[in-house]
Structures are given as structure tokens and as C-alpha cells.
Structure 1
Amino acid sequence: MSAGFADIDWARPWLAPIETRGRRWQAAALTGYSGYLATLNEDASAAGLLTGRGQPLAFIAQEELPAGASYEGHIAQSGRVPTRHNLHDFFNGSMWFAYPRIKAALNARQAEQIDEHGIGPTRGGVRDALTLFDENAVLFACADASLGRALRGFDWRTLFIDERAAWGVRCEARIFGHALLEKLVAPYKACTGHAWIVDVPAEYFTLDDAGRRALIDERIAHGILAEPLESRAFAPLPVLGVPGWWAANASPGFYDDVSVFRPGRRNR
């Protein structure tokens, strides 16, 4: 049986940034679809957020997406996000509030690609990378370049054991991908995100959660809009290896499982 709204465990540390709003949305979702959409739209109206082409954010039932219209193109043009009554779209909506600039930037680039190339049987490299970010990204904020190199080099011992004390002080992980959040409602060891490394100043780690989110939201959104984007820019990150996210990883032996913590492409 697939997981549902009642299965969300708000004690999971990766859900902390969205817990307050998420609990309200969860309660509304458990009462029914129409009330759930109404709650999302109340929050959207109050927040005044915009989609990729400056349209006010709103949420509509999936069946209101016009026939033949592209999902991302419709959001950019109308501001209305087609939303199903399921966990996948629950977490997608949550990211519009947690990281509104990143979501708008992804939507703007998707709409730009659709305008240029249309909708075909394949997305193309740029749209693939944008979709990968949207669905499975982990934001790896890092004030120490050596930790970013360890992540890219599959150097799990350095990242998770030798430099364990660096987590929360010189680096941290924040889950952005809504498909990844959906998977983590029922966590499993091999669950892997695609890490997007963002350099931050040391002062980042003195900020509260809202301050940290605002800083990386702006910084990453700027990069998405200004720079080429391709799938190989990501680094695999087994998310239950993040210190403090899973009790079993307190033991160094947790990381000996090479089926999860693979040697990888160290030469890259």
C-alpha cells in the first residue's frame, strides 16, 4: 500500500523547515480535496508569491489543467499549479513556500525551454536537469570547499565520519525535491538525492532556519536563471547518511555498505 497523508512523521528532521505549515495542510488534506485546495490557496494569497513569469501563485485541481496545455507552461502563464490530492503534490506545494525563488526560477526556465522547443517525446538535456532538480534535489550548503570536494569525490569517510563535527557548522543538507520527500515518508537506506552544492559564507551557520532558507533560495535561484544547467552538475547523496537524520548512522559501520555508499567516480 502506498503512503498517504496520515503516514507523514513530522519528527523526521528533514521535514522541520516545512512542519508548521505542513501540519495544517495535512489536517486539511485528511478532511478532503476541496478543503485542502482552499487551505493552500489561503496561504498562497497571504504570502503573495509569484510563479516563473510573475503571475500570483494559486493552486487548482489537476482536472482544471486545460487539455493540451503543458504543466510548467500553464503555471508560468497563469500562476495556477495543478495539484492532485496526494503526497507528491503535497510536497511540491510545500516547496513553493519554503523556497519560492528557486521554484519560480525552475518554472521560468522550463517555460522558456517549452517556448523554444515545444513539447516532444523527450524533454532534452536542460529540461531533464530542471526536472531532476525539482523532483530529487538536496541543497548542500557548504562553507568549506573541502567538504564539497569530498561529496563530489564519493569520499564518504571524510564527509560523514572524519568530518562529522562539520555538519551544522560548515555544511548542511536540505531536501528540496518533492519526489524525494515523498519517498522519505517511508525511509529506506538506499534512498539517494541529487546534491546541488551551494557555497555559503561562514556566517550562514549563525542564521536561523528562515534566514538560511532565504539566503540559499536567492543564491540558487540566481544561478538557475543565469547559468547553464545539466544533470552532471549534481552529486549523489544517500540522504540517510546525513548525521542526525538516521539513528543507525551514529555507528561508522553504517557507511560500510558499498551498495549504498559506493566508491563512485573519484576521478571526476
Structure 2
Amino acid sequence: MQLGEAREAGHEVAQPGFAGIDWSRPWFAQFATRGQRWQQAALTSYAALLAAMNADAAEMRQTTGRGQRLAFIAQDELPPGAAYEAHIASTGCVPTRHNLHDFFNGSMWFAFPRIKAALNARQSAAIDVLGVGPTRGGVRDTLTLFDENALLFACADPALSAALREFDWQTLLVAGRDAWGASCEVRCFGHALLEKLIAPFKACTGHAWIVDVPSAYFGWDTAARDAWLDESVSTALLDTDALASRMFAPLPVLGIPGWWPENESAAFYDDVSVFRAGRRSR
């Protein structure tokens, strides 16, 4: 039966991408407990995925940017002409398609709920002021970049943060690789980035938001670390008046120590088309 015939016959057609999520990958492993349940629901039907997401939302009692209770609705329930972020802020309802992009977007509402609410609050406030035009404007562009492609780079060593900002890959990823897990680490946040990492490629690059953490952070369990990041980053997003894309530092995801077998060889980082000199040459 062809795809069109299946739809005409009323059969639900599962998105093939859902079966391709490898939860053992470091960038997915942090969401695996909930994600595996959602994955099975998504492979069953669109309705089953929305039901699983809403069951978790009801249990968590999460709110969106203006204090509305979080829920997930089918994309076609978004009223014509309504702005996506404004609708979420005013109703709490997140329009969700049956695809990987929105699957990972929904996941972030549970992994980092305060950050998602802060992004929604800032986006909807900007829409209130400027409306929805042909361009988003600088602040909304930065918020969208964060939402779609951010990595959270938690670091207790200023030298490593400086190396990331300065594109000093040898210090950060080769000489300093033993510091990963002890003085710095990364959490994937951007849902478009996670979607791309279904089929990882060497040049896949996230926009790292550097988070200065106390040294004690690396003695905490994962849940405590995530809660600390969620609180710290959401506060920064709400308190920072001027947001700009230069606040991010590009970081090739497969170069993160322990995240890709090939980067065990120092020669992996010799590829200047991926690990570029960047700002150091300016």
C-alpha cells in the first residue's frame, strides 16, 4: 500500500524517522527514559504520541511563558493567522506535528522546562511589541537560534571557556580532554540540532551557550545538574536585555570527547573545514 493510499484508507502512517533514534548516543541518552516511551507512541500513531505527551504534561503541571498550563495539540488546531509562540503563551497549547522536529521540541519542555518557558515569554513579549512581520528582529532571531540549535556548555574552568570562545580546539578538545566530565560538559538543547543528529556528520555544529558553574556541580547527580542549568539559564534569558547571536560559541558536536569514537585520535581535529580558526585569526 502506498503512502497516499494508506491515508485515504484511514490508516495511520508512522514517521520513519522515529525508528532511527539511537538512545545510546550521548546526545539522546539524557532524554532516553521519557523518549523511549514517546517513541513507541509515535510509531503507533499521531494521536498516541499526543496522548503520551499530554499525560506527562498533566503529571508535571508545567506552565508556559505566561503561566498557562502546558498541553500539546495537533498542528491543525492552531487558529489561522495565530503566531505560534503567542498562541503557546496565551493558551499553554503547543502545536505539534507528527515528526522528529516537534518530538524533540516537546522533549525540551520536560528536560529544561524553565528555559523553554523563558524562551516563550521573551518571544511572545517581542511579538506583542513588534507583531509578526517578514523578519523576526535581532532578539527573536537569537531566541530562535537558541531554541533550535543550542548546546549548554557547563564549565567550572575559565581557561576552557576561553578556549571555546577563541576556537582553541587543541586546548579544549585534545590537551584538555581529561577535563570533560570533571570541569566541563555539554547538554544538547536545540531540537533542530537533535533532529540533525539522527544521522550525525562531522560538520554538525551546535551554538554553545556558556554556563559558568561552581566546581561542586560536577559532584552532583544528573538531575541536580539539569535543574541547576535550567534555573541559571532561564534566569539569564529573562534578565539579559540585549540578546545577540555573538553570545554563542560554535562547537562541532562530534568533537566532544567521548561522544564519537573517531575523535579518540588527535588527527580527527586536524580537519580545518570543521575545526576552524575562527576569531583567533581576526
Asked if TM exceeds 0.5, the reply is yes
Question: Any gaps of 5 or more consecutive residues in structure 1?
Answer: none
Alignment match, 1:33 = 46
The aligned residue for residue 78 of structure 2 is: 65
Q: Indicate the SS of the match to 1:190.
A: coil
Q: Can you list the C-alpha shifts for 1:160-186, whole angstroms capped at 9, x where unaligned?
A: 011111000000011000000000000
1:245 to 234, 254, 259: 259
Q: Do structure 1's residue 235 and structure 2's residue 267 form an aligned pair?
A: no
1:51 aligns with 2:74: no
Structure with the greater alpha carbon radius of gyration: 2
Residue 225 of structure 1 is matched in structure 2 by 238
Contact 1:3/1:186 (8 A) holds in 2: no
Kindly provide the CA deviation profile for residues 142-172 of structure 1, in whole angstroms up to 9, marking residues without a partner as x: 0011101000000000000111110000000
| Equivalent in 78, 88, 100 of residue 91 of structure 2 | 78
Structure 2 unaligned regions, length at least 5 = 1-14
TM score, norm. by length of structure 2: 0.93
**Under a length normalisation based on structure 1, what TM-score does the superposition of the two structures give?**
0.98
Between the two proteins, what is the percent identity of the paired residues? 68
User: What CA RMSD, in Å, does the superposition of the two structures yield over aligned residues?
Assistant: 1.0
How far does the alpha carbon of each residue in 1:119-144 deviate from its partner, in whole angstroms, 9 at most, with x for none? 00000000000000000000000001
Note the C-alpha offset of 1:3: 6.1
Which of the numbers 102, 108, 112 marks the counterpart of 2:125? 112
Distance of 2:280 and 2:22 partners within structure 1: 36
Looking at structure 1, the residues matched to 147 and 210 of structure 2 have their Cα atoms a distance apart, in angstroms, of 15
Runs of 4+ in 1 over 2 A off after TM superposition: none
Please state how far the C-alpha of 1:267 moved relative to its aligned partner. 5.9
**CA distances 1:3-54 after superposition (whole Å, capped 9, x unpaired):** 6100000110111211000000000000000111001000000000000000
Pairs aligned (count): 267
Name the structure, 1 or 2, with higher relative contact order (CA <8 Å, separation 6+). 1
CA distance in 2, matches of 1:226, 1:13: 31
Q: 1:249 corresponds to which letter in structure 2? A: N
1:185 aligns with 2:198: yes
What is the rounded CA distance, in whole Å, between the counterparts of 1:76 and 1:172 in structure 2? 31
Measure the CA separation in 1 of the matches of 2:68 and 2:156: 34
Q: Give, in whole Å, the separation in 1 of the partners of 2:83 and 2:228.
A: 31
1:194 equivalent in structure 2? 207
